[in-house]
Amino acid sequence: EMVQGMGMTSTFCDGNDVIQTYLTLQNSLKSIHAGKGPQFIELSTYRWREHCGSNYDNEIGYRTEAEFLAWKKKDPIARHETFLLQEGIISSERMIEMHRTIEAEVDEAFLYAENSPFPDEAEAFLDLYRRPEEILS
């Protein structure tokens, strides 16, 4: 691999497996902290929705419905929730409570954003790495 040719350790991991991903990252961090140099980690995962929106775009034709459904079965959140429930790490009641809390937080954030005024135009160029005149020229 190109990365190994550059002298870096390369690791592949199923990015849809929460525990495997965690363990892979922990092992890489141990190696880095031990002074063994940088690490390259490839996490395999899948984009389910549009590149620039929240809709599904399977009808465009760049992937089949079968491909999409196969990857949907590998949903990392659903897989990990199932694991946590099967192992008795969390109860279904607690899981439902967590979902409700998260949904409420997201709803609150959207309401805040929708009800907030637009920022002043003068703020558009704050906190940039380049000066506005460099960007606009």
The pLDDT, as a whole number, for residue 119 is 87
CA–CA separation, 41 and 124 (whole Å)? 35
CA–CA separation, 18 and 99 (whole Å)? 18
The pLDDT, as a whole number, for residue 137 is 60
The pLDDT, as a whole number, for residue 53 is 78
Give the global pTM: 0.70
The pLDDT, as a whole number, for residue 63 is 87
The pLDDT, as a whole number, for residue 4 is 74
The pLDDT, as a whole number, for residue 110 is 95
- 40 with 7: CB under 8 angstroms? no
Tokens of 109: 């954030």
The pLDDT, as a whole number, for residue 44 is 92
The pLDDT, as a whole number, for residue 1 is 61
Report residues of the chain scoring pLDDT below 70.
1, 130-132, 135-137
